[in-house]
Amino acid sequence: MRRLPLVGLVAALTLTCCGAASAAAHDEPRTSYAKGRSQPVKDPVYPAYGNPSIDVLHYGLKLAWRPERRSLAGTATLTVRAVKPIKEVRLDFGRALKIDRVTVGGERARPRRKGDDLTIPLPATLAADKKVRLVVRYHGVPKPHSSGQLRPDLARLGLRSAADGSAWALQEPFGAFTWFPVNDHPSDEALYDVAITVPKGWAGVAHGTYKGKSVRGRAVTYRWKSTDPVASYLTLFTVDKYRMHRAKGPRGIPITYWVRPGDRWALPTVRRMPELIRWMEKKAGRYPFPSAGLVATSDSGMETQQMITLGGPYLTPEVVLHELAHHWFGNSVGPRTWKDVWLNEGFAMYFQIQWSADHGPGTMDSLMADLRRQERLVRAEAGPPGDYRRDYFAASNVYYSPALMLHEIRKRIGDDRFFAMTRAWAQEHRHTSQDRASFTAWINEHTGEDLTELIDAWLDSRTSPES
Q: Which residues contact Zn ion by CB under 5 A?
A: 1, 345, 348
- Between 364-382 and 341-359, two packed helices, what is the crossing angle to 10 degrees? 150
Q: Which is nearer to Zn ion, 194 or 319 (CB)?
A: 319
CA distance 2 to 260: 21
Cβ atoms of residues 186 and 63 within 8 Å: no
Smallest gap from Cβ 325 to Zn ion, in A, equals: 8
Q: Which is nearer to Zn ion, 202 or 350 (CB)?
A: 350
Smallest gap from Cβ 50 to Zn ion, in A, equals: 21
Smallest gap from Cβ 321 to Zn ion, in A, equals: 11
Q: Which of 420, 422, 456 is nearest to 436 (CA)?
A: 456
Q: Which is nearer to Zn ion, 122 or 341 (CB)?
A: 341
3-state secondary structure of 416: helix
DSSP letters for 155-200: SEEEEEE-TTS-EEEE-SSS-GGGTS-B--STTS-EEEEEEEEEET
Smallest gap from Cβ 434 to Zn ion, in A, equals: 16
Cβ neighbours, 10 Å, residue 271? 14
Q: Which is nearer to Zn ion, 207 or 223 (CB)?
A: 207
CA distance 335 to 196: 28
Q: Which is nearer to Zn ion, 19 or 152 (CB)?
A: 152
Smallest gap from Cβ 398 to Zn ion, in A, equals: 9
DSSP 329: B
Q: Which is nearer to Zn ion, 222 or 347 (CB)?
A: 347
Smallest gap from Cβ 358 to Zn ion, in A, equals: 19
Cβ atoms of residues 388 and 398 within 8 Å: yes
Smallest gap from Cβ 125 to Zn ion, in A, equals: 41
Q: Which is nearer to Zn ion, 167 or 325 (CB)?
A: 325
Smallest gap from Cβ 458 to Zn ion, in A, equals: 18
Smallest gap from Cβ 180 to Zn ion, in A, equals: 24
CA distance 438 to 426: 13
Q: State phi, psi for 142 to the nearest 5 degrees.
A: -65, 150
Smallest gap from Cβ 396 to Zn ion, in A, equals: 11
Q: Which is nearer to Zn ion, 152 or 201 (CB)?
A: 152
Cβ atoms of residues 113 and 95 within 8 Å: yes
Cβ atoms of residues 305 and 327 within 8 Å: yes
Triad 402, 406, 408: Cα angle to 5°: 115
DSSP letters for 140-165: E----EE---SSGGGSEEEEEE-TTS
CA distance 408 to 413: 9
Q: Which of 318, 309, 332 is nearest to 228 (CA)?
A: 332
At 206, which helix (H) or strand (E)?
Answer: strand 203-206
Q: Which is nearer to Zn ion, 1 or 57 (CB)?
A: 1
Q: Which is nearer to Zn ion, 189 or 323 (CB)?
A: 323
